[in-house]
Structure 1
Amino acid sequence: MKAKTYRIGEAATLLNLKPYVLRFWETEFKQLIPIRTQKGQRMYSEQNVLLLRAIRHLLYERGLTIEGARKVLGQYEEMYGSITGPEQPGPEIEAFCAGNGTETPLYAKETGIIDVEEIISELTSLRNMLITGRH
């Protein structure tokens, strides 16, 4: 049985995104490599769609920058191996990126993993100090 693939427009619709966003993310995230047809058309695998969901979550719902999302995906790769392997990313990447309590915490001093939520909180606090002029 052949694995399901999606054209760029279909993948964009599934993810509630515009196709140009997917093309841009291909340039920003080395893990995102769609299959190309002989005519050069992008075809996204189920694994690509899971990865795109994780990227969308990190950028739009968690509010990370592209660099921050790259770091989280890099942490995932360090912990679980390749994101783009035959069975990766699986449900664990969604849990990892969603931070729903079933994944390894994003911060542990002993492992040197970054706490993204803590960084966001600190940056928000700094921004508020800059806006109000209070120290």
Structure 2
Amino acid sequence: MSQSVRAAAASRQNGKSAGAFRTISEVSEELDVPQHVLRFWETKFAQVRPLKRGGGRRYYRPEDIELLRRIRQLLYGEGYTIKGVQKLLREGGARPQETAEVEPEIVKDTNKLQSILDDLIEIRNLLRNG
């Protein structure tokens, strides 16, 4: 499901338009991430800058939510470290998953793993055939 479709579905569920600002509790629920984690990410990722109103209440724009969704995917789904995600964001490489290019190191690792797998399959076949 594309990010815009997910955002539209989430907005229908809470009665807000897709372009409406969200509170930290709404974003926390939408992304399935605790509120304290969102606050922590604000300290680690300078690009996450929700609007703050009276009493320090946070309001997230749709683009903030998409960035947080991508950070979550990189950290939890793709196994990046915080430093790794910071580097990607600095270099402009933290695009949404549908359009992200494969990292060269990952391609090299995948090629190595494929080579190892091929070797193991060849060894298995040799053992089977005696």
TM-score range, shorter chain: 0.5 to 0.7
2-side partners of 1:59 and 1:121: how far apart?
23
In the other structure, the counterpart of 1:81 is none
Deviation at 1:119, TM superposition (A): 6.9
Cross-structure match for 1:20: 36
Q: Secondary structure at the match of 2:70?
A: helix
Seen in structure 2, the aligned counterparts of structure 1 residues 121 and 17 have a Cα distance that, compared at 3 Å, is: farther
Task: Give the TM-score normalised by the residue count of structure 1.
Answer: 0.60
For the residue of structure 1 that corresponds to 2:59, the secondary structure is strand
Of Structure 1 and Structure 2, the greater helix share is in 2
1:106 corresponds to which of 100, 103, 106: 103
19, 23, 33: which one aligns with 1:7: 23
1:33 to 32, 35, 49: 49
Letter in 2 for 1:93: R
Letter in 1 for 2:76: Y
Once the two structures are TM-superposed, the CA of residue 21 in structure 1 deviates from its matched residue by 0.5
The equivalent residue for 2:66 is 50
Match of 2:87 in 1: 71
Partner of residue 93, structure 1: 95
The verdict on how the C-alpha distance between 1:118 and 1:25 changes in structure 2, with shifts beyond 3 A counting, is farther
Greater Cα radius of gyration, structure 1 or 2: 2
Distance 1:116 1:37, change over 3 A: farther
Q: Give distance in 2, aligned partners of 1:61 and 1:24.
A: 18
Structure 1, unaligned stretches of length 5 or more? 78-91, 108-114, 123-135
Deviation at 1:117, TM superposition (A): 6.2
Q: Deviations over 1:32-79 (max 9, x none)?
A: 0110112210111101000000100110001011001111112217xx
Aligned partner of 2:60: which letter? Y
Structure 2 residue identity aligned to 1:18: P
Give the equivalent residue in structure 1 for 2:77: 61
Report the identity percentage: 33
